[in-house]
C-alpha cells in the first residue's frame, strides 16, 4: 500500500506551530487574520484551539495580556505583518509594563527582501522593532525551530517578573515542509516555566525584625501579589500580624475591601504616617508618589517583597528587601514569624479607624445625593448596589474620572476581579480585557468606561456580540475627556480639544450587532438596566448620561499636567 513505502510523511510550519501550542496547553488564540497567518488561525481552530477574532490587534493583544494575568499562562496574540504587528505592539508593551505574561506571534514578510529594504508587502524588521518594548524578542527562521522558539518565548514570558514576548514567524517558515518525524522530535514541552524562587532566610529574618520595631506599620499589596495567587498566605500574614493594608487598584479584593484591617479609605493618612511599609508585589513608581514627599515621610522604612532584584532601591532605599517569588516569600515569613512578634500600636489602628469612618461617611453622602443630571457618584452608587451580592463579577475599568471614582466606590471582595488601566494609565484596554476575562472565566464582566476611553476599543462590541459573551459595558457619558463643557478658545465652530459628542447614542452600537442597548438618565434606570442585563447573560451596553460638568481635569492626577510659570493665553 502507498503509505507503506519509505516516503516519509510530511508536515509544515503551520502544523508545527499548532502542535507546539497544544503541547504547552496554550489553548486560546486572540488575533486578527490575514496574510500570512490566515491558515494558521484556521488550522488552530480545526485542531481544537479556541480562536477569538478581533476587529483590531490592540484589543486582541489586550485580551491575551489579561488572560495571561488571570491564568498564569502566557496569553497568545496572533497578528499579521508590519501594521498588524505594530497594532498589537501597544498591548504587548503594556503587558510588559504591567508584568503580564503574553506572547505575540506575528507572521512577517520575506527576510531577504525585508533586510535589503526592497519594498516587500508589509515590510518591517519586526523582531528588532519589538525589542525595546518586550522582555524578549525572537525569530524562528527554520520550521524545525518552531518548538524551541515557542519554548523560549514561554519561559521568557513566565519566569521572574512576567512580561510580553515577541515571536516572529516569517511566512516562508509557516509554509516550509519537513518530515513528520523530525517535526515531532523538534517539539518542546516546557517544564516548570515559572520556577519558585526562594528568598534567603536572612532576608526573611531582617524583614520581620524591621516590622517588629514598627509602631505604625502598613502593608501595600500590588498586582504582583494578586498575580502570585498566594491569597490564603497573604491573608494569614496580614491577619496574624494585625498590620493594616492598602491595596493598589488591581490588588483590590485580594482581601475583601470591607475587611476591618483595610486602610483604603484612609489612604493618604496611612501613607504619610506609617513608619514601616511592607510592599508586596507593588513598585514605588508614580502610582505611589515614588515613595517620596509630599505623600511620604522621609523617615519611613521599607520592606519590599519582589521577584525582581533590580526593583529594590529603585526609587528609595529599602531597609529589608525580600527577593523571591511572593508565594515562597510570604510562606517563609509566616513560618518564621513568632507569635506576638509584630504588634502595631493600638493608637495607630484607632487613628486609622477614625479617619476611615470620616471618609466613609463623606462618601455615603456623595453616593446618596441624587443630582439631575447624574454625576459619577450617583451612577456608581446604583452600580454598587447591583454588584453588592455578585462578587464573582469581573469589573473592567478605564477613563479618568470614570476610573478614579469607580476605583474608590466599587468594593471588590474576590481577588483578581478588578482589571484596569494599570501602570501606564492607558486608555484602550476596556473591551480587550473584558473579552479576555469573559473567555478565560466564562463569568460575567461589567466594563465601566469613560466615553473617551470606550472609543479606543469600541468596535469590539461586535466581537462581544459575535461570540455571545456575557459582557455589560457601562459608558459614563459626560461628553468628553474629563468633562464635556470646555469651549473653543478661538470662538470657532470646532469643538474644544477635550469635547466629545454628548448626545451620542452609544447603546445603538450594541443594538447594531444584536446586543441589547439601554439609555439610563437616573440611578434607578441604571440599576434596573444593569440588573436586567446581568440576568440575561447577554451582551449589553448601557449609555449613562453624566453631567458634563461633573468631572475634574485629568481626574485625580491633575498635578501631573505640566505647570507653566507663563500665564495661559486665553
Ligand atoms: P501595582 O501597580 O499594583 O502597584 P506593580 O505592577 O507596580 O503593582 O508591581 C508589581 C510587582 O510585583 C513588580 O515589581 C513585579 O516584579 C512583582 N511580581 C510580579 N509577580 C511576582 C511574583 N510572582 N512574585 C514576586 N513578585 C512578583
Ligand atoms: N491615549 C492613551 C492611549 N492613553 C491615555 N491615557 C490618553 C490618551 C490620555 N487620556 C487619559 O489619561 S484619560 C483619557 C485620555 C484620553 C480619557 C478621559 O476621558 P473619559 O473619562 O471620558 O474616558 P472621564 O470620566 O470623562 O474623565
Ligand atoms: Mg468622559
The grid cell for 438 is 469573559
Please report which ligand is nearest the Cα atom of 220. Answer: 1
Mutation test residue for ligand 2: of 90, 94, 399, the one with most atoms within 8 Å of CB:
399
- Verify whether ligand 2 is closer than 6 Å to residue 478 (CB atom): yes
pLDDT tens, N- to C-terminus, the chain (570 residues): 445 566 679 999 999 999 999 999 999 999 999 999 999 999 999 999 999 999 999 999 999 999 999 999 999 999 999 999 999 999 999 999 999 999 999 999 999 999 999 999 999 999 999 999 999 999 999 999 999 999 999 999 999 999 999 999 999 999 999 999 999 999 999 999 999 999 999 999 999 999 999 999 999 999 999 999 999 999 999 999 999 999 999 999 999 999 999 999 999 999 999 999 999 999 999 999 999 999 999 999 999 999 999 999 999 999 999 999 999 999 999 999 999 999 999 999 999 999 999 999 999 999 988 899 999 999 999 999 999 999 999 999 999 999 999 999 999 999 999 999 999 999 999 999 999 999 999 999 999 999 999 999 999 999 999 999 999 999 999 999 999 999 999 999 999 999 999 999 999 999 999 999 999 999 999 999 999 999 999 999 999 999 999 999 988 888 888 877 666 655
Contact 225, 281 (CB under 8 A): yes
Distance 138 CA to ligand 2 centre (A): 33
Q: Give 202's DSSP letter.
A: H
Distance 436 CA to ligand 2 centre (A): 21
Helix (H) or strand (E) holding 276: strand 276-280
Distance from C-alpha of 269 to C-alpha of 337, rounded to nearest angstrom? 27
Global pTM reads: 0.97
Mutation test residue for ligand 2: of 376, 481, 499, 555, the one with most atoms within 8 Å of CB:
481
- Verify whether ligand 2 is closer than 6 Å to residue 484 (CB atom): no
- Pairing relationship of beta strands 471-477 and 445-450 according to DSSP bridges: parallel
The grid cell for 460 is 469590539
Helix and strand counts by DSSP (H, E) for the chain: 22, 19
Mutation test residue for ligand 2: of 396, 403, 431, 450, the one with most atoms within 8 Å of CB:
450
Distance 547 CA to ligand 3 centre (A): 10
Distances in whole angstroms, Cα of residue 522 to Cα of each of 134, 449, 511, 557: 45, 17, 21, 28
Q: What angle is formed at CA 459 by the lines to CA 458 and CA 465, rounded to 5 degrees?
A: 105
Amino acid at each position: 500500500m502507498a503509505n507503506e513505502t519509505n516516503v516519509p510523511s510530511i508536515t509544515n510550519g503551520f502544523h508545527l506551530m499548532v502542535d507546539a501550542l497544544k503541547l504547552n496547553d496554550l489553548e486560546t488564540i486572540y488575533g486578527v487574520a490575514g496574510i500570512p497567518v490566515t491558515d494558521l488561525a484556521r488550522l488552530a481552530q480545526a485542531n481544537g484551539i479556541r480562536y477569538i477574532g478581533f476587529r483590531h490587534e490592540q484589543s486582541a493583544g489586550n485580551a491575551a495580556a489579561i488572560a495571561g494575568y488571570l491564568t498564569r499562562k502566557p496569553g497568545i496574540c496572533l497578528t499579521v505583518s508590519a501594521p498588524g504587528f505594530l497594532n498589537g505592539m501597544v498591548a504587548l508593551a503594556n503587558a510588559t509594563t504591567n508584568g503580564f505574561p503574553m506572547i505575540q506571534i506575528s507572521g512577517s514578510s520575506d527576510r531577504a527582501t525585508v533586510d535589503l529594504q526592497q519594498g516587500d508587502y508589509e515590510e518591517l524588521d519586526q523582531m528588532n522593532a519589538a525589542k525595546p518594548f518586550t522582555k524578549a524578542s525572537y525569530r524562528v527562521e527554520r520550521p524545525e525551530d518552531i518548538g524551541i522558539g515557542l519554548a523560549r518565548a514561554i519561559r521568557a514570558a513566565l519566569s521572574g517578573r512576567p512580561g510580553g514576548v515577541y515571536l516572529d514567524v516569517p511566512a516562508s517558515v509557516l509554509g516550509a515542509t519537513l518530515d513528520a518525524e523530525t517535526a515531532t522530535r523538534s517539539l518542546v514541552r516546557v517544564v516548570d516555566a515559572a520556577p519558585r524562587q526562594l528568598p534567603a532566610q536572612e532576608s526573611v529574618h531582617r524583614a520581620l525584625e524591621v516590622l517588629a520595631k514598627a509602631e505604625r506599620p502598613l502593608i501595600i499589596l500590588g498586582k504582583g501579589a494578586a498575580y502570585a495567587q498566594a491569597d490564603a498566605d497573604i491573608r494569614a500574614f496580614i491577619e496574624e500580624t494585625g498590620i493594616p493594608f492598602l491595596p493598589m487598584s488591581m490588588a483590590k479584593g485580594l482581601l475583601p475591601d470591607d475587611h476591618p484591617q483595610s486602610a483604603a479609605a484612609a489612604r493618604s493618612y496611612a501613607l504619610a504616617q506609617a513608619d514601616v511599609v511592607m510592599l508586596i508585589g507593588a513598585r514605588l513608581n508614580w502610582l505611589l508618589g515614588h515613595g517620596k514627599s509630599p505623600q511620604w515621610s522621609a523617615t519611613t522604612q521599607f520592606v519590599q517583597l519582589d521577584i525582581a532584584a533590580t526593583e529594590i532601591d529603585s526609587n528609595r532605599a529599602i531597609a529589608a528587601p525580600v527577593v523571591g517569588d511572593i508565594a515562597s516569600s510570604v510562606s517563609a515569613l509566616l513560618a518564621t514569624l513568632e507569635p506576638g512578634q509584630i504588634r502595631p500600636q493600638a493608637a495607630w489602628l484607632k487613628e486609622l479607624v477614625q479617619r476611615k469612618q470620616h471618609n466613609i461617611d463623606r462618601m455615603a453622602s456623595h453616593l446618596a445625593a441624587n443630582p439631575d443630571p447624574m454625576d459619577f457618584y450617583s451612577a456608581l452608587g446604583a452600580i454598587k448596589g447591583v454588584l453588592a451580592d455578585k462578587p464573582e463579577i469581573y469589573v473592567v475599568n478605564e477613563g479618568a474620572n470614570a476610573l478614579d471614582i469607580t476605583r474608590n466606590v466599587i468594593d471588590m471582595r474576590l481577588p483578581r476581579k478588578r482589571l484596569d488601566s494599570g501602570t501606564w494609565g492607558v486608555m484602550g484596554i476596556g473591551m480587550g480585557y473584558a473579552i479576555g476575562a469573559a473567555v478565560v472565566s466564562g463569568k460575567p464582566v461589567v466594563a465601566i468606561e469613560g466615553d473617551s476611553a470606550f472609543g479606543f476599543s469600541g468596535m469590539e462590541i461586535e466581537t462581544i456580540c459575535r461570540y455571545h459573551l456575557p459582557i455589560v459595558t457601562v459608558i459614563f457619558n459626560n461628553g468628553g475627556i474629563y468633562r464635556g463643557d470646555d469651549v473653543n478658545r478661538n470662538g470657532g465652530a470646532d469643538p474644544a480639544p477635550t469635547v466629545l459628542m454628548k448626545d451620542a447614542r452609544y447603546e445603538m452600537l450594541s443594538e447594531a450587532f444584536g446586543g441589547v442597548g439601554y439609555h439610563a438618565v437616573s440611578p434607578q434606570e441604571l440599576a434596573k438596566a444593569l440588573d436586567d442585563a446581568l440576568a440575561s447573560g447577554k451582551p449589553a451596553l448601557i449609555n449613562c448620561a453624566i453631567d458634563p460638568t461633573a468631572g475634574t481635569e485629568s481626574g485625580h492626577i491633575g498635578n501631573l499636567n505640566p505647570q507653566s510659570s507663563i500665564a495661559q493665553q486665553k
